[in-house]
């Protein structure tokens, strides 16, 4: 699924899932139901894309959607033809993120940021700040209140940041920082924001 579009030096990768009822936001299904959970996934992804389009008015970057579920046609019908799309492929979250980073750096990207779509408060200004920090720091992290992170950005690949980490746990952010410090990477931090993954997170849901 290659594209003729070239990566610019600033490249943003968005990890998301096609909002198919019963297969997305499964931890929220007991509260929202199959369709409600899928609709929340759809709404949060569209909110993220909206902020990314605002970001594109502020700085020059290429954008790539790494998706699971659905297919290329469904993704294009949903989010449009003006974005790059790639399947996430196999492996745990760390392997999939690391693969996407390496792919971007192997093209023309010099600064690569990965975000998910679970963080309604992530806006274009925070994303702009992340790219600005990435001109100064080797690594940029956006801590999530649950102990994970909503954003990671690098100036070059660092596979160690994505291995031997228990994804989905409260130790992800701390472990990532620990590894980064062992690698002598300089770290730029963004504001802590809330993710929406579990029923208790819904209290912070945007209107």
What does the pLDDT look like over 27-63, one tens digit per residue?
888 888 899 899 999 999 999 999 999 999 999 999 9
Query: What is the per-residue pLDDT for 7?
Result: 61
pLDDT in tens, 137-170: 999 999 999 999 999 999 999 999 999 999 989 9
β-strand partners of 15: 66
- Give the pLDDT confidence score for residue 196 in this predicted structure: 77
Per-residue confidence (pLDDT) for residue 28, from 0 to 100: 82
If one compares 207 and 15, the residue with the highest pLDDT of the two is 15
Question: What's the CA gap between 38 and 24, in Å, rounded?
Answer: 6
- Mean pLDDT for all residues in the chain: 91
Residue bearing the bigger pLDDT, 3 or 75: 75
pTM of the model: 0.92
**pLDDT value of position 203:** 64
**pLDDT higher than 80, residue 86:** yes
Instruction: Band the pLDDT of 76: cuts 50, 70, 90.
Output: very high
Task: With CA atoms as reference, report the closest residue to 192 among 139, 126, 131.
Answer: 126
What residues have CB less than 8 Å from 85, skipping those under 6 apart? Answer: 1, 64, 65, 67, 72, 75, 76
Total number of residues shown for the chain: 207
Position 104 pLDDT exceeds 50:
yes
**Which residues on adjacent β-strands are paired with residue 10?**
111
Q: What is the mean pLDDT of residues 10-36?
A: 90
């Amino acid at each position: 699924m290659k594209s003729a579009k070239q990566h610019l030096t600033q490249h943003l990768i968005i990890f998301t899932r096609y909002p198919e009822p019963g297969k997305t936001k499964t931890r929220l299904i007991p509260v929202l139901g199959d369709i409600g959970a899928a609709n929340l996934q759809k709404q949060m992804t569209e909110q993220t894309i909206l902020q990314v389009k605002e970001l594109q008015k502020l700085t020059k970057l290429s954008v790539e959607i790494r998706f699971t579920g659905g297919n290329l046609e469904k993704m294009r019908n949903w989010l449009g033809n003006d974005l790059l799309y790639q399947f996430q492929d196999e492996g745990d979250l760390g392997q999939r993120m690391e693969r996407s980073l390496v792919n971007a750096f192997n093209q023309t990207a010099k600064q690569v940021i990965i975000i998910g779509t679970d963080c309604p408060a992530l806006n274009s200004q925070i994303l702009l700040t992340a790219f600005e920090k990435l001109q100064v720091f080797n690594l940029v992290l956006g801590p999530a209140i649950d102990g994970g992170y909503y954003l990671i950005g690098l100036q070059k690949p660092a596979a160690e940041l994505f291995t031997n980490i228990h994804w989905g746990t409260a130790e992800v952010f701390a472990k990532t920082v620990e590894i980064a410090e062992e690698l002598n990477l300089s770290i730029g931090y963004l504001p802590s924001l809330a993710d929406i993954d579990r029923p208790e997170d819904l209290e912070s849901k945007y209107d």
